Amino acid sequence: MHSKNRFRQFSAHGPAAAATGAAQGAPRDDVAALQTAASLENLAVQTYQMALTLPFIGGPQAKPEVKMFAERTMMQHSEHAAAFNAAVQRLGGKPQTAPDPKYAEMVRQALPAIKTPDDAVGLAITLEDVAAQTYAKDVGLVSTAELRQLFASVAGVESMHKAILLTVQALLKANQPQLIARPPQIAELPSSAGSVGFPDAFCPTAMAAPVEEGAVK
């Protein structure tokens, strides 16, 4: 799924920019939430870039479907970061180009332990989950309909990423990597494949990053 059209309206020159303008008096939490969101997206881009250097994600040992997912997901995270930063600038704030400090440290500590595809997928699930939960919570914190739409839209995409990764993880743990395929071999998939990607009836928010976590200091 390509998200470029979905987020074009939030670019610095899109129709939402004309409607919102450079609101210098924007609530502080709006700017901080957007900057923190951008920091999570920056970290996701960096992490997928790293993953693509691994032989079993982007190298000769990688399944084409896994490599394609990593490349497309990295691109979508880059688009998300641009959309959040464009909204920051419309509100008179500084764009966030650094990664989230808390989770950047988590990734740094996790990297030496990534030896298998399952390790890499597990790290990606954590980042996608944190992003989805953060944006779902931020929908109720930001002050305008435009920002609520932005956070809700991106939360849905991150939830989709997480669902795909959970399914891939389940197949890897079941020693059935051959079933990670496009189109899927539906008749051969285990029955749990239809539900493992959706463990929650509603998006939780317990892991949501605090509004100020990735704000520009």
Q: Encode pLDDT of 155-181 as tens digits.
A: 999 999 999 999 999 999 999 999 998
Residue 10 is assigned to a structural domain of this protein: no
**Residue 158 near residue 131, CB atoms below 8 Å:** yes
Q: What is the mean pLDDT of residues 121-138?
A: 98
Q: Which residues contact 51 (CB under 8 A, 6 or more apart)?
A: 57, 58, 70, 120, 123, 124
Residue 9 is assigned to a structural domain of this protein: no
Residue 204 is assigned to a structural domain of this protein: no
Question: Distance (Å, rounded) from C-alpha 133 to C-alpha 137?
Answer: 6
Whether residue 12 has pLDDT greater than 70: no
* Range(s) of the domain holding residue 124: 27-194
Residue 22 is assigned to a structural domain of this protein: no
Residue 11 is assigned to a structural domain of this protein: no
| One-letter amino acid for residue 29 of the chain | D
Whether residue 56 has pLDDT greater than 60: yes
pLDDT at res. 25 = 55
Whether residue 114 has pLDDT greater than 90: yes
**Structure tokens given for 30:** 């709006």
**57-97: pLDDT as tens digits:** 999 999 999 999 999 999 999 999 999 999 999 999 999 99
Residue 206 is assigned to a structural domain of this protein: no
CATH number assigned to the domain comprising residue 174: 1.20.1260.10
If you average pLDDT over every residue of the chain, what do you get?
A: 89
Please say whether the dihedral angle defined by the alpha carbons of residues 104, 106, 109 and 114, taken in this order, is positive or negative: negative
**DSSP conformational letter for 23:** -
Residue 125 is assigned to a structural domain of this protein: yes
Residue 1 is assigned to a structural domain of this protein: no
Counted domains in the chain: 1
pLDDT at res. 10 = 53
Whether residue 13 has pLDDT greater than 50: no
Question: Distance (Å, rounded) from C-alpha 85 to C-alpha 88?
Answer: 5
